[in-house]
Amino acid sequence: MSDVFQRRLKRRQRTSRIFELVCLLSTWFGLVVLVVLLTGLMLKATGTWDPTATGAAKATENWLTPTLLTNHMSSDPERAGMVASIWGTCWLILMTALLSVPVGLGAAVYLEEYAHENWVTRFIRLNIANLAGVPSIVFGILGLTAFVRMFGFFGDPTAIGVPLGFGMLKIPLPFGKSLLSGAFTLSLLILPIVIIASQEALRAVPQSIRHASLAIGATKWQTIWHQVLPASLPGVMTGIILALSRAIGETAPIIVVGAASYIRFNPGNIERMSELVTKVDGLLLVPSSQYTVMPLQIYNWVLNSPDPEFKNVASAAIVVLLAILLLMNGIAVYIRNHFSKRLDW
């Protein structure tokens, strides 16, 4: 009797160990893929080794050169650069952040601090959760209809001028294929993420802080503005940075909303950092100008280029993009760790 039991026990223990091995290998699969992808990319971009080079060893060049960052597109792979897309990405992300952060944070504050627990609030929460799961290209379609063409309200394109101190900011209506459309679309895309992350950050602030502030006579708004928001700031910033880094990599909605495929000028014709302050009229042209972004540039180089050599240029561009993303995520992690050490309750 115990003999049968011993045999069965051994078999079950063997199954358990095999299962553990299977799970371990599965975990490693994902990681191994990541490592292979990144090293293959680096090797191809710097020209050290190209496993897919056919025939003559064409891939011994280093494609990760400074000219990549400073030149515009050209039909010669050696001279092609991605400066227009870098500027485009920077402007786009800046405008997206300006649009989505106040709105998202405001919505989070409302939902956490002010809203009553009724069916309206529940409906709103449900919508936010659903929107977070909608594919990005659907946002692109929405942006196309709502911003680029504005539902066809404006038959002929007009523009409204907003006088700022140093010049006139022209906002075209409908937005057309400009940075404005892209920024609005992307901010709609990341708005659910920003809202949810900010909600979590606000929730993490202990109630005792709020109660203490109210107890000494502060109003609700004072409590929020002076106590809760500063306390939740690290979490909120982490969430914003992560949302923006997601926005950087989004290509599909940008294509649908009309980013240009072949563009040889920076938005507003601003070529150097110094021109940001000197070329004011260029600065005012930025929101209405056409643009391209880094992932789109990569996509074009991979698929739509005449010369297959461009795939190597694309690999170098990917390295640049990943470096920027890594930097942003690193900043987010640093902020999270640094501030969570200071405020520990």
Per CB under 8 A, contacts with other proteins among 192-251 are: 192, 195, 245-246, 248-251
**Count of other CB atoms within 10 angstroms of residue 161:** 11
Cβ-based nearer residue to other proteins, 208 or 337: 337
- Three-class secondary structure assignment of 300-338: HHHHCCCCCCHHHHHHHHHHHHHHHHHHHHHHHHHHHHH
Identify the three-state secondary structure at position 167: strand
**269: alpha, beta or left? (left if phi > 0; alpha if psi -120 to 50):** left
d(CA 164, CA 170): 10
Residues 295, 321: contact at Cβ < 8 Å? yes
Sequential DSSP letters for 170-223 = EEEES--SSHHHHHHHHHHHHHHHHHHHHHHHHHTS-HHHHHHHHHTT--HHHH
Q: Which of 151, 156, 341, 345 binds other proteins (CB under 8 A)?
A: 151
Q: Which of 67, 110, 161, 219 binds other proteins (CB under 8 A)?
A: 110
Looking only at residues 171 through 190 of this chain, which bind other proteins when binding is defined by CB under 8 A?
A: 188
CB of 25 to other proteins, least distance (A): 8
Q: Which of 190, 191, 205, 228 binds other proteins (CB under 8 A)?
A: 191
Q: Which of 84, 87, 295, 316 binds other proteins (CB under 8 A)?
A: 295
Q: Which of 6, 70, 145, 222 binds other proteins (CB under 8 A)?
A: 145
Q: Which of 138, 173, 280, 335 binds other proteins (CB under 8 A)?
A: 138
Task: Examine residue 340 and tell whether it contacts other proteins (CB under 8 A).
Answer: no
CB of 340 to other proteins, least distance (A): 15
CB of 290 to other proteins, least distance (A): 14
C-alpha triplet 131, 136, 142: angle, nearest 5°: 80
Q: Which of 57, 212, 303, 343 binds other proteins (CB under 8 A)?
A: 303
Looking only at residues 261 through 290 of this chain, which bind other proteins when binding is defined by CB under 8 A?
A: 261
Task: Examine residue 57 and tell whether it contacts other proteins (CB under 8 A).
Answer: no
Q: Which of 196, 266, 315, 320 binds other proteins (CB under 8 A)?
A: 315
Task: Examine residue 324 and tell whether it contacts other proteins (CB under 8 A).
Answer: no
Burial annotation 44-68 (CB, 10 A radius, 16+ → b, else e)? bbbbeebeeeeeeeebeeebbeeeb
Among 192, 330, 189, 193, which Cα is nearest to 250's? 189
CB of 141 to other proteins, least distance (A): 4
**343: alpha, beta or left? (left if phi > 0; alpha if psi -120 to 50):** beta
Q: Which of 82, 228, 270, 298 binds other proteins (CB under 8 A)?
A: 298
- Residues contacting other proteins: total by CB under 8 A: 77
CB of 96 to other proteins, least distance (A): 15
